[in-house]
Amino acid sequence: MNTNDFSNIKLVSSLNENINIIKNIFTNDTTIVYRELSVGNPDKTKCILIYIDGMANTQLINENIIKPILLNDICDINHSEIIEVLMKEVLLTGNNKKSDLVDDIISGIIYGKSILFIDGFADVIIIDTIGWQTREISEPQAETIVRGPREGFTESMSLNLTLIRRRLINPNLKFIFLKMGKQTKTQICVCYIDGIAEEAILKELMARLNSIDIDGILDSGYIEEIIKDAPYSPFRTIINTERPDVVASKLLEGRFAVICDGSPIVLTLPTLFVEVFQSNEDYYDNFLYSSFIRILRWLCFFISTSTSAIYVALVTFHQELIPTPLLISIYSARKGTPFPSIVEAMGMMIIFEILKEAGLRMPKQVGGAISIVGALVLGDAAVNARLVSAPILIITAITGIASTMLPQVLGLIEIRIFFLLLSSFLGLYGYIFGVMGLVLHMMSIRSFGIPYMLNVPSFSTQDIKDTAIRAPWWNMYLRPKMISKNNKRMKKK
Amino acid sequence: MKEGIKMKKRLVVVIFIIIICPVILVGCWNYREIDSLAIVAGMAIDKDMITKKYIVTTEIITTQMSGVSSIINSELYRSEGDSIFNAVRDTIEKTGLKLFWSDAKVLIISRAIALEGVIPVIDWVNRSSDTRSDMWMLISTGNSAAEILEAKIKLNSVTSFHLNETMKSGTSLSNFTDSRLWSFVAGLSSKEKSETVATVKNELHDDSTSPRISGSAVFKVDKLVGYLSANETLYMLMIKNKLKEGLIVLENALDSNTTVTLDIHENKTKLTPHYNNGTTLLTIDIYPAVTIDDVGGTKDIFKEDNLKKLQGEAENQIKVNIEHLISKLQKNFQSDVLGFTESFDKEKPKVSKAFKKNGQDIFVNLKTEVNVYLLIKGSGKTNDSISAEK
């Protein structure tokens, strides 16, 4: 069978024929278990239970399906009511469904459900016995924090939904389920709080999700890239997280979460630029400290995008702007090095990126050796051999480290290269040119209708409460404007 | 439809090329790597009196790698020319690198040039877009200007930078004037007012010579007319209300062999011009606040009447010194570096206009009245003189 469409296949009342239909679909699949059972006196109706070994919970099947069917003391079952009797009085499982759609049956089997075929009926009972192995809940590697909940999402969507639900005990927490991917039939769930989230954004999100036509979805990254605004921009207009507490806080602000089965990464939207600078720990720690860290992150954004560009501009165009002692130390470091400053800056930046990327993908055991070779030997030897000047090494290190300060990944490297190229042939003039271009670009982006730079160019006290600083909780009585429908977070004191 | 898109694409490509081309072609108009420069730390200007050529000596920073660290040093380059700029251009031949003037700190002019007039010398420095007019202007006395730069100081391997540091610390010494090139040029604009410039000369200390900035040179317009000693410079700054800090030493205070040093840390001077029937009079009220910094003897000066006496002695010493300075400037130099004429211009404009009409100089015949109101504010950490067991 090559097609995925089973809607033209109809079940019949003969058990053998029905089993043959299933066997034809799962040709040569030895993991499928066909368990024959007989139920009830006096005619001992033949049944067959089908499930996939490994996907379904075998213990549950044994205890709650097979055992009660075989040991039931309901002796006289009217044959025509057998399905109802089984569902109501025999099966000990919670979620049972009657169905005659082959589509449902097939996807149910694949998903780990058990199907009970009964001789003489075109209907079957679909029993929820999903019990595949999932990864245990653990702390996300990419978003480590010092203070705050340590749970992280796993690859199982039902578990992920539990994690969110446990934080928002609220009937208004709504879930919309979708199936996506022609081949993979991946479950997608859109999650929001009714009454806080804007319906217009929901409508737009659903429209975008429904227009997805793709073979398979293996991670939420697929969805992000297909539905996001400004797809060519280095900035992220949809942000993601592995932490249920982060998702809960975004939902409370009126945002939407998109959960994709099989991926621990949950998307939240609409996204603002300031979210790049917000870490969940900011909200759990003292607001003074968090505000300081926030400001530090903005500084790091500037450092990591601009220092190398400004350095190259100063050293090759505007030596007059460098104070004398600094000028002399740069001068003495540059003396005798063979490459122009821009080549040095670009080269060291690329080497840094190589080291960084290699460090990510490398087996842990090799990591230490590589970082020693990369950092100490390469850096130190290059300066001693006068291949590169020491200041550029320092600047590369600073920009590289500063870029890891931001809690969310951003296209910093693209911006850095853009600025560097501009300032290398136009000096500070080119750099300012680049900054203007970048600001114009950022101002023009929207994420699901919300301006990406919302609240950033504002100096009003209400707007900066969660941007440049993190105001104390008793002072943030409003939810972010435009995103949420109802603006009041708490009573104003 | 397809044709339209193709045209649009082509148009975008053409516009892109047009934008990129000028950026690449003209972008490098001022591109120069930092290591292709010769950083000038300072310059000294002499004149060959026989050939009438200017001799420009530039101090250029050199660096030398020794292992990981680098040693900063300087080299002198000497070139001659009919004009300053001519000589400066000649230096490039010798260095091979373009001279970088933004960090040049001092401009030393020899006494001989100063006597002839400094305008031809400072014009290029003031005019050029490479040099900065916040360079310190110094007059070398006793040595040629180049010799000042030749001296090596252990504290700072670049002599010009050493001179720069010394000039910056000038406010706490008040031994020489704060003579920036721009303020000298600005001072030239008024006819009556004259400027003073710090003087520098080499001194010998156990085999090694080092430049010492002390005292000031008095100019009349752009010509050197005389010198003031370090002490006289202090009183000059006091009259000009530019004194920030300074020391007054009272020898044999209170008729004993005790020497008392007073540290001026605040000073206010008020000039009040008067005109009465053809005579001009200027009242100079001086309000210095001092602390007793050093008591070089056993005399108990902290008794109340002794303190009063000490105050009187100090006031008297300041007054005598100021009167002496004024008469020296009036009689010997006829140069108004004190800004007296300016105060008449401001407060008695009619008088000064009348004087100018008659071609009379207000400054030379000006009578002055000096009043000093000294305030002793404290005496450091102790209120006593160190005394032996009674």
- Assess A317–B contact: CB distance below 8 Å, yes or no: yes
Residue A260 φ/ψ region, left for φ over 0, alpha for ψ in the -120 to 50 degree band, beta for the rest = beta
Q: What is the ipTM of this complex?
A: 0.81
- The closest CB to that of A317, out of B23, B30, B68, belongs to B30
Q: How far is A477 from chain B (nearest CA, A)?
A: 49
Q: How many CB atoms lie within 10 A of CB A35?
A: 15
Calpha distance B289→B268 (Å, rounded): 9
At A2 the pLDDT is: 47
At A220 the pLDDT is: 92
Q: How confident is the model at residue B27 (pLDDT cuts 50, 70, 90)?
A: very low
Say whether B65 and A386 touch across the interface (CB within 8 A).
yes
Residue B111 φ/ψ region, left for φ over 0, alpha for ψ in the -120 to 50 degree band, beta for the rest = alpha
Chain B residue numbers touching A427 (CB-CB < 8 A): 30
Cβ contact B106:B163 at 8 Å: yes
User: A240-284, pLDDT tens digit by residue?
Assistant: 999 999 999 999 988 999 999 989 999 998 999 888 888 888 899
| pLDDT > 80? residue A3 | no
User: B170-203, pLDDT tens digit by residue?
Assistant: 878 788 888 899 989 988 887 777 889 999 989 8
At B59 the pLDDT is: 94
Cβ under 8 Å to B: A residues 56-115: none
Distances (CA, A) of A415 to A48, A233, A275, A441: 62, 10, 18, 12
Q: How many CB atoms lie within 10 A of CB A61?
A: 20
Residues 6+ apart with CB under 8 A from B130: B99, B100, B101, B102
- Assess A423–B contact: CB distance below 8 Å, yes or no: no
Minimum CA–CA partner of B21 in chain A: A425
Q: How confident is the model at residue A188 (pLDDT cuts 50, 70, 90)?
A: very high
At A193 the pLDDT is: 92
Picking from A37, A41, A185, the residue whose alpha carbon sits closest to that of residue A125 is A37
pTM of the model: 0.82
Calpha distance B286→B288 (Å, rounded): 6
Minimum CA–CA partner of A335 in chain B: B35
The residue among A326, A328, A337, A343 with the most chain B CBs within 10 A of its CB, best to mutate, is A328
Q: Which two tokens stand for residue B36?
A: 């292709």
- The closest CB to that of B35, out of A329, A331, A430, belongs to A331
At B319 the pLDDT is: 92
User: B231-279, pLDDT tens digit by residue?
Assistant: 899 999 999 888 888 888 888 777 778 888 888 888 999 988 888 887 8
Say whether B39 and A386 touch across the interface (CB within 8 A).
no
Cβ under 8 Å to B: A residues 146-185: none
Q: How far is A319 from chain B (nearest CA, A)?
A: 7
- Assess B103–A contact: CB distance below 8 Å, yes or no: yes
Maximum separation of any 2 CA atoms in chain A, in Å: 105
Chain A residue numbers touching B32 (CB-CB < 8 A): 316-317, 319
- Rg (chain A; Cα; Å): 30
Minimum CA–CA partner of B62 in chain A: A332
Residues 6+ apart with CB under 8 A from A104: A126
- The closest CB to that of A316, out of B24, B32, B63, belongs to B32
Q: How confident is the model at residue B68 (pLDDT cuts 50, 70, 90)?
A: low
At B114 the pLDDT is: 92
Say whether B63 and A319 touch across the interface (CB within 8 A).
no
Q: How far is B330 from chain A (nearest CA, A)?
A: 42
At A455 the pLDDT is: 80
Amino acid, res. A426: L
DSSP string across A242-275: S-HHHHHHHHHTT-EEEEETT-S-EEEES--GGG
Helices (H) and strands (E) in chain A, counts: 17, 12
Cβ contact B218:B240 at 8 Å: no
When the pLDDT of each residue in chain B is averaged and rounded to a whole number, the result is 86
The residue among A311, A312, A321, A324 with the most chain B CBs within 10 A of its CB, best to mutate, is A324
Residues making up chain A, counted from first to last: 493
Say whether A332 and B65 touch across the interface (CB within 8 A).
yes
- DSSP H or E run through B96: none
Residues 6+ apart with CB under 8 A from A188: A177, A178, A179, A180, A209, A217, A223, A258, A259, A260, A261
Picking from A46, A184, A52, the residue whose alpha carbon sits closest to that of residue A118 is A46
- Assess A338–B contact: CB distance below 8 Å, yes or no: no
Pick the range with the lowest mean pLDDT from A32-41, A405-414, B62-71, B281-290.
Answer: B62-71
Cβ under 8 Å to B: A residues 425-484: 425-427, 430
At A136 the pLDDT is: 86
Amino acid, res. A75: C
The count of CB pairs under 8 A between chains A and B is 64
At B46 the pLDDT is: 93
Q: How far is A434 from chain B (nearest CA, A)?
A: 13
Indicate the SS3 state at residue B178. Answer: coil
Calpha distance A189→A156 (Å, rounded): 12
Cβ contact B97:B133 at 8 Å: no
Chain B residue numbers touching A316 (CB-CB < 8 A): 31-34
Pick the range with the lowest mean pLDDT from A92-101, A129-138, B235-244, B297-306.
Answer: B297-306
At A69 the pLDDT is: 83
- Mean pLDDT over B72-89 rounds to 91
Say whether B37 and A319 touch across the interface (CB within 8 A).
yes
Q: How far is B50 from chain A (nearest CA, A)?
A: 38
Minimum CA–CA partner of A324 in chain B: B103
